[in-house]
């Protein structure tokens, strides 16, 4: 019978990170949970929870601390990809949309602080630039285009 130092339950984003950090510290770890799906096209589970390139990263939030955590996490993605050989993050830009003006206002100063290139998008601009979403007129938001090739958050 094998004895391990830690058993981590959940092989998603948090569980796999916890197990990884424990192992780096020298602990023996058993990671328990469902495996990644073998065929994403026929998989009927949760979408975008932790299946590599389907991951969604929210960079703006009404809480400044959450913006900072996101920014610091994204800085670690490329080193993790290089270390593990698993390419799990493909930046495509960021669009945050809401019809709650208070929510959008709370994110405004954080957008300026953490991502100065974020654009404010009016309802008219949403319809013009993102016609495939079909937002109603009371929606507005923020858009951050994809970073130019070769740049990372710490280089901007």
CB 147 within 8 A of CB 118: no
Domains of the chain, CATH where assigned: 1-35 (no CATH), 57-155 (3.30.9.10)
Q: Residue 50: which H helix or E strand, with range?
A: none
pTM: 0.64
pLDDT of residue 55: 58
Question: Mean pLDDT in the chain?
Answer: 83
More confidently predicted of 54 and 115: 115
Give the tens place of pLDDT for each residue, 27-86.
999 999 877 777 767 877 665 455 545 556 788 888 999 889 888 888 888 898 898 887
| Cα–Cα distance, 77 to 15 (Å, whole number) | 16
């Amino acid at each position: 019978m094998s004895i391990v130092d830690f058993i981590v339950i959940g092989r998603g984003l948090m569980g796999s990170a916890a197990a990884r950090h424990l192992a780096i510290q020298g602990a023996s770890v058993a990671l328990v949970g469902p495996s990644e799906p073998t065929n994403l096209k026929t998989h009927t589970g949760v979408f975008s929870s932790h299946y590599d390139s389907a991951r969604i990263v929210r960079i703006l939030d009404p809480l400044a601390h959450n913006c900072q955590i996101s920014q610091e996490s994204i800085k670690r993605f490329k080193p993790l990809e290089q270390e593990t050989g698993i390419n799990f993050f493909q930046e495509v830009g960021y669009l945050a949309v809401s019809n709650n003006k208070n929510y959008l206002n709370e994110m405004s100063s954080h957008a300026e602080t953490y991502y100065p290139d974020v654009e404010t998008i009016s309802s008219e601009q949403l319809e013009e630039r993102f016609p495939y979403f079909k937002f109603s007129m009371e929606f507005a938001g923020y858009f951050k285009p994809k970073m130019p090739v070769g740049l990372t958050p710490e280089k901007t």
